[in-house]
Amino acid sequence: MGEDPRITYVLIDGENIDATLGTSILGRRPRPEERPRWERLLQFAQELWRQPAAGLFFLAANNELPMPFIQALVAIGYRPIPLTGAAGEKVVDIAIQRTLTEIRRRQADVLLVSNDGDFVEQVSDLLDGRRVGVVGFQEFRSNAYLPLVADGLSMFDLEYEVQAFKEPLPRVRIIPIDDFDPTDFL
């Protein structure tokens, strides 16, 4: 019997990414065409470390399943994880923390898709030789992850590196001079 191939788990904090996109970047509820193309993220994960990727999409369901969205996630290869809990309970954060802890017991790599710093402890624990990355919007990512780069943490931008959007988002970012193209602004 052969060993299972190493896998990359892609854990998506759906609430955090949606809130950052809507509140901080667009200033309104994103239209469907402005939302990330989640299939591009899975493809990015597979190409990044040249191994299979399993996508887990965590969302707060509040006792109501958004079936069209759930069906779309399943169709592109994700396992939706709709959660509910007591009022004020951060069910998505709790579930992601528990999942990161469980992954530590497995031979697997991780891409965490969130800007939230609530996972720094679990991400730090995973930096034991395995490949670990955080994907989000660089200007909104928690600075608590920065010290972990020295321990091997990789950081990726959902728009610029993953290319998860069909059209450019209205973001203001620091531009390395070698990447500056004045035609982008004229």
Cα–Cα distance for residue pair 55/12, rounded to 1 Å:
8
Enumerate domains of the chain plus CATH numbers: 7-184 (3.40.50.1010)
More confident: 5 or 59: 59
Per residue in 82-101, pLDDT (tens digit) is 999 888 899 999 999 999 99
CA-CA-CA-CA torsion for 24, 184, 156, 74, nearest 10 degrees?
A: 70
How much is the average pLDDT of 128-136?
97
Q: What backbone phi and psi angles, to 5 degrees, belong to 26?
A: -90, -25
29, 22 Cβ separation under 8 angstroms: yes
Count helices and strands (H / E) in the chain.
Answer: 5, 6
Per residue in 25-78, pLDDT (tens digit) is 999 988 888 899 999 999 999 999 999 999 999 999 877 888 988 999 999 999
The 3-state DSSP class for residue 69 equals helix
Mean pLDDT over the full length of the chain: 93
